[in-house]
Amino acid sequence: MRIAFLVAPEGVEQIELTEPWAAVAGSGGTPVLVSTKAGQVQAFRHLGKADTFPVDQVVGDASADEFDGLVLPGGVANPDQLRPDERAVAFVKAFFDVGKSVAAICHAPWILVEADVLRGRDPTSWPSLRTDIRNAGGKWVDEQVKVCDAGPNTLVTSRKPDDLKAFCKALIHEFDRAAA
């Protein structure tokens, strides 16, 4: 199982990258760090700089066909930087177009809003995205983790770092189910 983790060059919430990454690797999968620029990505612990991580692949050179699923970590700045990047938005939308599972936590659903893939779904997120999700045709819910099966793929969403244990369990279950 090869799973893409899409992040901006700066601003990803570190724990929302590292915990799902460890869950994918721990389940025998291969996590791949995809970003809009080559080099390193700068992670954050809330508003302070944390560790850097090497980019494995640039989004412009990546295709949803190469992966079994997609994880979108949060952090306020991360999805905000990804949204205006047409290649990043197209990459996310491609997972929905080919029916592959996607997992997004915290502020990451902002890029799902931009990709116009939330119509008819009922995801959760950080509460401040509620109106954006509704305006994009989704029905926001306040749950620790929400698995949406509308359409040909599954969307797993979660609200915040406190929900990571449930988020990781759900995304691994869905990625494994899709691979079977």
Name the DSSP letter for residue 28.
T
Q: What angle do CA 165, 135, 153 make, to 5 degrees?
A: 50
Catalytic residue among 46, 107, 148, 173: 107
Nearest to residue 108, comparing CAs of 163, 150, 56, 54? 163
Q: How many CB atoms within 10 Å of residue 163?
A: 19
Residues 6+ positions from 127 with CB-CB distance below 8 Å: 142, 159
Secondary-structure percent of the chain, ordered helix, strand, coil, rounded to 5: 40, 25, 35
Catalytic residue among 106, 148, 168, 173: 106
Q: Does 148 participate in catalysis according to the annotation? A: no
Q: How many CB atoms within 10 Å of residue 73?
A: 28
Q: Does 107 participate in catalysis according to the annotation? A: yes
Distance CA 109, CA 80 (A): 10
Q: Which residues are catalytic?
A: 106-107
